[in-house]
Amino acid sequence: MNIMAKSASSEPCESAIGADARVTARPRSAVSAGVGIVGLAGLVSYLLIARFAPDIAAFLGIDWGNRGAMNGPNSAIASVLACGLPMVLWSVFVDKVHRNPSTGIDWSQRRPWRETLDISLTKLAGMWATWGLIALIYATMRYYWEGNYAFSMNLLETVAPWLLLVSVPYMLWLDRRMVEPRDGCWQFGRWLIAPGKPVDGRAIGHHLRAWAVKGFFTAFMLSIVPGNFSALVTVPMSEVLANPYMTGLWAINFLYLVDVHIATVGYILTLKPLDAHIRTANPYGMAWVAALVCYPPFILMNGGPLDYQVNGSDWGYWLAGHENLLIVWGIALVLLTAIYSWATMAFGIRFSNLTHRGVITHGPYAFTRHPAYISKNLSWWVGSLPFLVTAGGWVEGARNVILLGLVSGVYYWRAKTEEKHLLADPAYARYWNWAQEHALVPRFFAKLTGRARPLIRLEPDERVGPVA
């Protein structure tokens, strides 16, 4: 998952502030810390209700019958709603994000319907055609109808008619208030229904890339929500507390659940009134390759050519019988996973791979530009101990170490290609410069290497810069 700060503006950067501009104060974050906190509170509250549903029903005098904990897939989706709704309410009523200029909405403006009707109908044509393309890809690829993805497809089939219905009044209502409603969706719709008319090809490209991200990752996130949720709701606490290894696994799984839920909300709520829309999707092919090889069906790791766990085992196996070491390892892994989850929480409702939805500078992003990539990769090294193997001797151990090194290299390249995209924005460039001089991790590496700037910094290409 993407764990880099995203930027909200869209003008070229280097000419505006200079690559070496000094920024003494940490730039303001586009999302407040409260958004992630209330999302976590909503999720934990629902988890407790789902887990103790029979006891709660008995206390309230409700006949619960033979039903146990609420651990089914529908309950898992309800937990996503329980996580997302508080974040939306906080964003609107506390942070008042709908008033941000970056929404592109002028709430004092209410154009007559006749002025925007043709624009809205053109945009609906573009939107529905985009959804049709995504649906065609889903329908064609058997992969999406097998295993965990079958749940995603069934859920999307259920909500699709409602989305089509709601999109009409939503588009008609929004376009009356948009400062410039002729966006990439409108350009795509115009290209479809008015052949030969001039259109902005780059805006269409942005529109299609943004929906490619949303279509790919929303289906993936929905597919993995039910499994971990069910396990956390039903696992007996006696099993969780049986030994440090089991306790550590439970805590790690809970933290990944937080990450998955908040990320799922982020992929769903790409809405302008929440200022959570996709400003731009990464235009660089190398960024897409670096990201997609970390996710199924393109994943190179688990079972793929970069699988670093062949003939290996995890920390629980290697440290079995050493209680104190299990405790130390468990604490280290939980802390690393907590940083990873915290990095996702910092985004609130704006989390998304390969996109740009507002600069995040608070939480772990005050210490490094890439807290989740760093913590996730460190957790893999600490948890898998790749140099230890159950078969194959030192050769197999060396192979696993090299492969995990290549995996970490993939994430390093992801970070660089995402920066190449985001540095086209002055807001992110200011954050980049501030972090390089003041954030803990960049300062540490600057002292370690003697370089004020990283060895590699990929500059944006003006020819494919932002268009939205």
DSSP for 272-296 reads GGGT-S-SEE---HHHHHHHHTTST
pLDDT tens-digit profile of 238-278? 999 999 999 999 999 999 999 999 999 999 999 999 999 99
Is-contact 466 280, C-beta < 8 A?
A: yes
Q: What is the pLDDT of residues 328-360, one digit of tens each?
A: 999 999 999 999 999 999 999 999 999 999 999
Residue identified by tokens 């760093």 is 374
- pLDDT at position 22: 66
Classify 392 in phi/psi space as left (phi over 0), alpha (psi -120 to 50) or beta: left
Q: How big is the chain, counted in residues?
A: 468
Percentages of the chain per state (helix, strand, coil), in multiples of 5: 65, 0, 35
Cα 321 to Cα 27, 51, 117, 148, 391, distances in angstroms:
48, 31, 71, 36, 21
Q: Which residues contact 104 (CB under 8 A, 6 or more apart)?
A: 178, 179, 180, 272
Q: What is the pLDDT of residue 462?
A: 85
pLDDT value, residue 186: 98
> Which of 43, 49, 39, 48 is closest to 89 using CA atoms?
39
Rg (the chain; Cα; Å) = 23
Tell me the pairing of strands 355-356 and 280-281: antiparallel
Place of tokens 């969706």: 185
The beta-strand segments (E) located in 163-208 are none
Q: Is the peptide bond before 371 cis (omega within 30 degrees of 0)?
A: no
DSSP state of 105: B
Q: With the CA atoms of 156, 161, 163 and 167 taken in that order, what torsion angle do they form, in degrees rounded to the nearest 10?
A: 160
Rounded mean pLDDT of 152-158?
97
User: What pLDDT sits at residue 7?
Assistant: 40
**Among 131, 152, 133, 417, which Cα is nearest to 296's?**
152
Are 184 and 140 within 8 A, CB to CB? no
**What distance in Å separates the CA atoms of residue 265 and residue 85, rounded to the nearest whole number?**
9
DSSP designation for 71: -
Predicted confidence band at 464 (pLDDT cuts at 50, 70, 90)?
confident
Instruction: For residue range 273-298, list pLDDT tens digits in order.
Output: 999 999 999 999 999 999 999 999 99
Query: Which pLDDT does position 24 carry in this prediction?
Result: 84
Main-chain phi, psi angles of 355, to 5 degrees: -135, 180
Examine the pLDDT at 465 and tell me if it is beyond 90: no
Token pair listed for 440: 């803990």
What do you get for the CA distance between the two ends of the chain, in Å? 23
Strand positions, DSSP E, 186-241: none
Q: How far apart (Å, rounded) are the C-alpha atoms in residues 443 and 431?
A: 14
Pick from 430, 427, 424: nearest CA to 460: 424
What is the CB-side half-sphere exposure of residue 58 using CA atoms within 13 A?
9
pTM: 0.93
Query: What is each CA distance from 63 to 49, 53, 60, 66, 289, in whole angstroms?
Result: 16, 11, 9, 9, 53
CA distance 451 to 182: 45
Does the pLDDT value for residue 20 go beyond 60?
Answer: no
The 10s digit of each residue's pLDDT in 56-115 is 999 999 999 999 999 999 999 999 999 999 999 999 999 999 999 999 999 999 999 999
DSSP 312-377: ---HHHHTTT-HHHHHHHHHHHHHHHHHHHHHHHHHGGG--TTEE-S---SGGGGT-S-HHHHHHH
Per-residue pLDDT tens digits for 158-214: 999 999 999 999 999 999 999 999 999 999 999 999 999 999 999 999 999 999 999
Residues facing 355 on adjacent strands: 281
Q: Which has more confidence, 390 or 228?
A: 390
**301, 407 contact by CB (below 8 A):** yes
pLDDT of 8:
37
